[in-house]
């Protein structure tokens, strides 16, 4: 009998922890499997050059280059806004004034900075698409850049 009670208690604890975990760090479980402040869990879509090229043309997409201003000046995708990934990304992002109703199409040189920026933006509630291989892959595919 003690084993059965212990087993039931362990299962209860295990499922309780799992239910709370599924609600995210900043959300408390109501006890009925729902979160009081259910966070929208978007994912980052990493797209090939061709798919990114098609999707960035949509009206509801804002194109963002997260490289340095120097890199941006050397060549960027037409219509891109430069918001440098780094320590002051938060303030630069606020200054850019990009609303959450837009999908953010983000890229960098090779993909590392854009992945980090995309992760930060998803946490803020943005829908994000990312260019696989960055502007390097874009140029290898023969796509245009402007200066």
| Matching residue, tokens 């696989």 | 132
Check residue 35 and report its DSSP letter: B
Question: For residues 93 and 117, is the Cβ–Cβ distance under 8 A?
Answer: no
Which tokens go with 120?
Answer: 């930060």
End-to-end CA distance of the chain: 76
Which tokens go with 38?
Answer: 């259910």
Question: For residues 144 and 78, is the Cβ–Cβ distance under 8 A?
Answer: yes
Distance, in Å, from the CA atom of 87 to the CA atom of 78, rounded to the nearest integer, reads 26
Set 27, 35, 36, 108: catalytic member: 108
Q: Is 23 a catalytic residue?
A: no
Nearest to 121 by CA among 37, 30, 40, 11: 40
The catalytic residue positions are 108
């Amino acid at each position: 009998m003690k084993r059965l009670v212990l087993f039931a208690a362990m299962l209860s604890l295990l499922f309780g922890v799992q239910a709370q975990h599924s609600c995210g760090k900043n959300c408390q479980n109501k006890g009925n499997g729902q979160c009081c402040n259910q966070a929208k869990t978007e994912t980052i879509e990493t797209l090939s050059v061709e798919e990114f090229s098609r999707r960035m043309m949509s009206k509801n997409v804002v194109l963002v280059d997260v490289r340095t201003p120097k890199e941006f000046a050397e060549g960027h995708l037409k219509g891109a806004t430069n918001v440098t990934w780094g320590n002051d990304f938060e303030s630069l992002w606020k200054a850019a004034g990009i609303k959450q109703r837009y999908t953010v199409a983000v890229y960098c040189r090779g993909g590392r900075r854009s992945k980090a920026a995309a992760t930060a933006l998803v946490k803020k509630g943005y829908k994000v698409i990312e260019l696989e291989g960055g502007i390097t892959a874009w140029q290898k595919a023969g796509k245009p850049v402007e200066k």
